[in-house]
Structure 1
């Protein structure tokens, strides 16, 4: 059987070219479950894979796509039968295993979460890895005592995939949200998601040379890393936490122990890739139930497989606000 897929190939002059091609099912990797993909979504990691980043994908030609939602076509696992609706995020999907930017994928059964009641396949990919990560970035601080107070919660990189969903989710849960961005023109977009305060990226970069900054935030979700992350740490209220999940501003920062021993703050790492499947399923249940967002469609633009290469270039050029939903149905 033939199907369409985005295939990224390396040319003789070491350029990486994404093209929509026709593939055969027997070209897919081994796996217990064959899935007809209905929807996927575009993440920054996908854009890196599509541009030849060897830290994400080692071998080419390759089909990126770390997210997929669809219907089981074939299964050698007793856990799934044809017709089951499932979600796949993370693990090796789209990194070194052919990913969700295709009409079919074949994966291990241990990567699959059943679509939770209350969330359609389309809605699951409006969220995707970004939504799952945002939910984890809320759940982990709540487990460490995050409480509603007069102090706003800060979200950095707020126009990105994780950031925009984090803004919407925190607002839904009743927190006062401050959204930090380098895209001043997207202030109205962030306010529509529930942000009550807009903070410039430059404002968060100031003070990197100081060991402590004025207490300002009741908690934070950081999607960018670098010195911005540690400036946030230095600005947390006593006992507050920041969940860290991104690195677009860098993997290192100028740090000291002072915020930790003088204010008792917490730096909480968040990973959504190798997370145990039971934890992923629990987060999806929250996103389909008490944490379900009313404004999901405001978070994403729907595109076709043919429009995906242009969307990838926009993401690499940092010209994207919100999410791209890939419709493969």
Structure 2
């Protein structure tokens, strides 16, 4: 491979635009492993990287894409050889260096995860950063005592990428799942993923003047944050946990200490970007085994798009109009 195509965001100030450009392989950044990218995925962070006030990327031109799966083209690392199937999520991919919206990428070897046996590259990116974040959330909740017999689990922002996968993974692990979404027409989709109850964010609100609501959830997966989070915390059962991974609802929230000191609630921060490699591999191994998505589930959550369709998909994810996950096909 001497030439390749990549979606490039370029411009200055408020004038940013995305277009597909051709590059030479020697224009890739320094790194140990060069990858022929088969698939990437559209994430909220990628949307932020494409707009002037996204506060994700410091300089342009830039190739977004915070995850990828593909095959090693060349490697100076003894851990990887030409032809190895691999995936990369997080670290600086698509942020501090060119990312996955490209037919080729070059990264440090310690960012690379061997594609687990049992997963195809398409399945890996149907999951992608969103599925990994959802799985890491469930993994951490279980480490903190969650089990199917403890009671229902809540998932906020349930039609998004993280939310969709969280509903599906919890349901297939035997949990009773309540899905929260403001999209009234998506109840059929959420039930298809395994939700037994669907509520709106308004139904999660604790009555005004009360610091605690009734104990409803054994745990919650929250990729939304913002003003809904205090209501979720105030309704978690004694000793339960909330796994917080996102800020699509806003970075700020106002809460009291009462859920923590009166009910022993745990607020677990979920960092899928710099998650230690041993934990990262363990979670991906679960996604290739007990949590492996079947063909029907992949088809329900993910849709495959072409490189040229990416600008519209990035706009959809920023507007909150993305259901599930868009996977970008980058093969020749």
Q: TM-score, normalised by structure 1?
A: 0.97
Partners of 2:206 and 2:212 within 8 A in 1:
no
Matches within 5 A, 1:127-166: 127-149=127-149, 151-166=151-166
Give the corresponding residue for 2:306: 304
Matches within 5 A, 1:1-329: 1-11=2-12, 14-53=14-53, 55-149=55-149, 151-207=151-207, 209-294=209-294, 295-329=297-331
Partners of 1:224 and 1:245 within 8 A in 2:
yes
Runs of 4 or more, structure 1, over 3 Å off, are 205-209
For residues 164 and 27 of structure 2, the distance between their equivalents in structure 1, rounded to whole angstroms, comes to: 36
Q: 1:209 to 1:111 in 2, by over 3 A?
A: farther
**Offset at 1:263?**
1.1
Partners of 1:47 and 1:312 within 8 A in 2:
yes
For residues 5 and 154 of structure 2, the distance between their equivalents in structure 1, rounded to whole angstroms, comes to: 41
Q: TM-score, normalised by structure 2?
A: 0.96
How large is the RMSD of aligned CA atoms in angstroms? 1.3
For residues 193 and 223 of structure 1, the distance between their equivalents in structure 2, rounded to whole angstroms, comes to: 17
For residues 172 and 240 of structure 2, the distance between their equivalents in structure 1, rounded to whole angstroms, comes to: 20
**Offset at 1:205?**
4.1
Partners of 1:205 and 1:228 within 8 A in 2:
yes
**Offset at 1:258?**
1.1
Partners of 1:9 and 1:62 within 8 A in 2:
yes
**Offset at 1:252?**
1.8
Partners of 2:34 and 2:104 within 8 A in 1:
yes
